[in-house]
Structure 1
Amino acid sequence: MKNLIGLDKAKAEKLNEKLNELLANYQVFYQNLRGFHWNIKGKTFFELHAKFEEYYNDAVVKVDEIAERILTLEGEPLHTFSAYTSTSSLKEAKGISEGTKAVEIVVQNFSTLVALEREILSLAGEADDEGTVSLMSDYISETEKTLWMLNAYLK
């Protein structure tokens, strides 16, 4: 049985499960970044305040792209905070104002996201879902470069 865009419905459903997991993780990541942006203190305030804003602006775009991909695959994107927090493997970061600690959490969050993106990439390839493959490939390339830069910052 095929869906509207010609993919096997069962494979598309499995992809939607994982895409919803990615969506939930990005929503928690987004909120963590907002908190870091608002609450960061210290000598690196200006650079990290701007960097966290850059990251959360990117995350909000990805949230929309992921939700729209789920809809394209004939699924329903998660859309409540309770669903996000119960589905996400990322944890809420609370009370973080020190720069190095915030960056360490961002690195951990990005590492979790890229691992999930690779899992989705593999599933999408098996499903002949070029749209999701392309989306995940772009995300992975971008996240890998960001992780390299953040790790250089922490050295």
Structure 2
Amino acid sequence: MTLNTIGLDQKETKDIAQDLNVLLANFQVYYQNLRGVHWNIRGKRFFDLHVKFEELYTDANMKVDEIAERILTLGETPLHTFDDYTKAAKVPVGKNVSEDEKTVRLIVDSLSELLKIERGILDKTDEVGDEGTNAMMSDFITEQEKTVWMFKAWLNETV
């Protein structure tokens, strides 16, 4: 086993960075979805949702940067083209979504996909002792689970 400068196995680190690149691609699509629903929301709930979507896309933008910087910390290169993002993304793409319930449903569906990816990374990083990535995933998951719960309550649904 060959360790890198931060004390992690180089092969395992490369695998984790690849998974983080998949997460990065999906976060970029999620971010664009949030921008789209922020711009296009219509109806009686416009003011509340417009502000909430801005809060979410600001947070997503910060997370994109954190993910990319973690990939660099692990010694790899973050994806950075839309072509790469669309090839790797599983998050649904929302095009011209403006109805309140459909915008919220898009966010819940997007977060559900992100959570699946993050849980996979969490498990893998736990096995190899990558505490930095593991802590990041744990924080993301905790926050996103709460957001899903809130939006499901808004939709009058249970988690």
Q: Is 1:151 equivalent to 2:152 in the alignment?
A: yes
Q: Which residue of 1 aligns with 2:126?
A: 125
Residue 91 of structure 1: CA displacement?
Answer: 3.0
Matches for 1:1-150 after TM superposition, within 5 Å = 1-150=2-151
In structure 1, how many angstroms separate the alpha carbons of the residues matched to 2:17 and 2:89?
Answer: 14
Paired residue type of 2:111: F
* Structure 2, gaps ≥5 residues long: none
In structure 2, how many angstroms separate the alpha carbons of the residues matched to 1:59 and 1:50?
Answer: 14
In structure 1, how many angstroms separate the alpha carbons of the residues matched to 2:9 and 2:3?
Answer: 5
List per-residue Cα deviations over 1:71-104 (Å, max 9, x = no partner). Answer: 0000100000110111111132101110100100
Equivalent pairs counted in the alignment come to: 155
Paired residue type of 2:11: A
TM-score normalized by structure 2?
0.96
In structure 2, how many angstroms separate the alpha carbons of the residues matched to 1:88 and 1:76?
Answer: 17
In structure 2, how many angstroms separate the alpha carbons of the residues matched to 1:127 and 1:71?
Answer: 18
- Identity, in percent, stands at 54
Q: Is the 8 A contact 2:20 2:71 kept in 1?
A: yes
Runs of 4+ in structure 1 over 2 Å off: none
Residue 139 of structure 1: CA displacement?
Answer: 0.4
Paired residue type of 1:94: K
List per-residue Cα deviations over 1:101-122 (Å, max 9, x = no partner). Answer: 0100100000111111110001
Paired residue type of 1:143: Q
TM-score normalized by structure 1?
0.98
